[in-house]
Chain A
Amino acid sequence: MNLSDLVFIVTALITVTAAVGVVGFKNIVHSALSLVLSFLGVAALYFQLQAGFLGLVQILVYAGAVSVLIIFAIMLVMDKDPDESNRSHAKQKYWGGLIALLVTLGLGAAIGSTIWPQSSGSLPEDSVGALATLLLGDYVVAFEVAALLLLVAVVGAIILAKGAGEHD
Chain B
Amino acid sequence: MESLFLDIAQTLTGWLQSLGLSAVWADFILLIIQFACVAGIVTINVIILIWLERKVSGFIQLRLGPNRLGPWGAFQTIADAIKLLTKEDIIPTRTDKWIFRTAPLFFITVAMMLYLVIPMGDGMQIVDLNIGVFYFISLASLSTIALLMAGWSSNNKWSLLGAMRSVAQMISYEIPLTFSLLGVIMIAGSLRLSDIVAAQSNIWFIVFQPVAFITYFIAATAELNRGPFDMPEAEQELTAGAYTEYTGMRWALFFLAEYTNLVAVSAMASTMFLGGWQGPWLPSWLWIIIKTYIIMFVFMWIKWTFPRIRMDHLMSFSWKVLLPVSLANIVVTGVGIYVFKWMGWC
Q: Which A residues contact B (CB, under 8 angstroms)? A: 29-30, 33, 36, 52-53, 56-57, 59-60, 63-65, 67-68, 71-72, 75, 126, 128
Contacts and interface: CB of A to CB of B under 8 A. Distances in A.
Contacts of B164: 72, 75
Contact of B144 (A29, A56, A57, A68): A68
B142 interface: yes
Given A56-B134, A128-B130, A65 B145 contact: no
Interface string B199-231: 000000000000000000000000000000000
B171 A36 contact: no
Nearest to B139: A59
B148 interface: yes
A63 B129 CA distance: 20
Contacts of A71: 145, 148, 152
Task: Name, among A57, A59, A126, the residue most crowded by chain B CB atoms within 10 Å (CB to CB).
Answer: A59
A56 B135 contact: yes
Given A53-B131, A64-B142, A29 B167 contact: no
Contacts of B177: none
Given A65-B141, A128-B131, 7 more contacts: A56-B131, A64-B144, A65-B171, A67-B145, A68-B167, A72-B164, A72-B167
**From DSSP, what is the main secondary structure of chain A's interface residues?**
helix
27 contacts: A29-B99, A33-B145, A52-B129, A52-B130, A52-B131, A56-B138, A57-B138, A59-B138, A59-B139, A59-B142, A60-B134, A63-B145, A64-B141, A64-B142, A64-B144, A65-B141, A65-B171, A67-B145, A68-B144, A68-B145, A68-B148, A71-B152, A72-B164, A75-B152, A126-B130, A128-B131, A128-B191
Contacts of B141: 59-60, 63-65
A89 B135 CA distance: 41
Contacts of B149: 33
Contacts of B9: none
A14 B138 CA distance: 21
Contacts of A72: 148, 164, 167
Contact of A63 (B135, B142, B152, B167): B142
A54 to B, nearest CB: 11
A77 to B, nearest CB: 14
Nearest to A83: B96
Contacts, number: 55
Given A72-B164, A75-B160, A75-B164, A64 B134 contact: no
Nearest to A71: B148
A30 B142 CA distance: 17
B112 interface: no
A37 to B, nearest CB: 10
A87 B135 CA distance: 37
A75 B164 CA distance: 9
A126 B152 CA distance: 42
Nearest to B98: A30
A127 B135 CA distance: 15
A32 to B, nearest CB: 9
Contacts of B99: 29-30, 33
Contacts of A64: 138, 141-142, 144-145
B325 interface: no
A69 to B, nearest CB: 8
Contacts of A52: 129-131
B138 A60 contact: yes
A128 B152 CA distance: 38
B137 interface: yes
A118 B136 CA distance: 35
Interface string B99-138: 1000000000000000000000000000001110011011
A53 B148 contact: no
A52 B145 CA distance: 22
Contacts of B144: 64, 68
Task: Name, among B99, B131, B137, the residue most crowded by chain A CB atoms within 10 Å (CB to CB).
Answer: B131
A65 B175 CA distance: 11
Which 4 residue pairs across A and B have the least CB separation, nearest first?
Answer: A64-B141, A60-B138, A59-B138, A56-B138
A36 B145 contact: yes
B240 to A, nearest CB: 19
Nearest to A36: B145
A82 to B, nearest CB: 8
A128 B134 CA distance: 11
B39 to A, nearest CB: 20
A8 B149 CA distance: 28
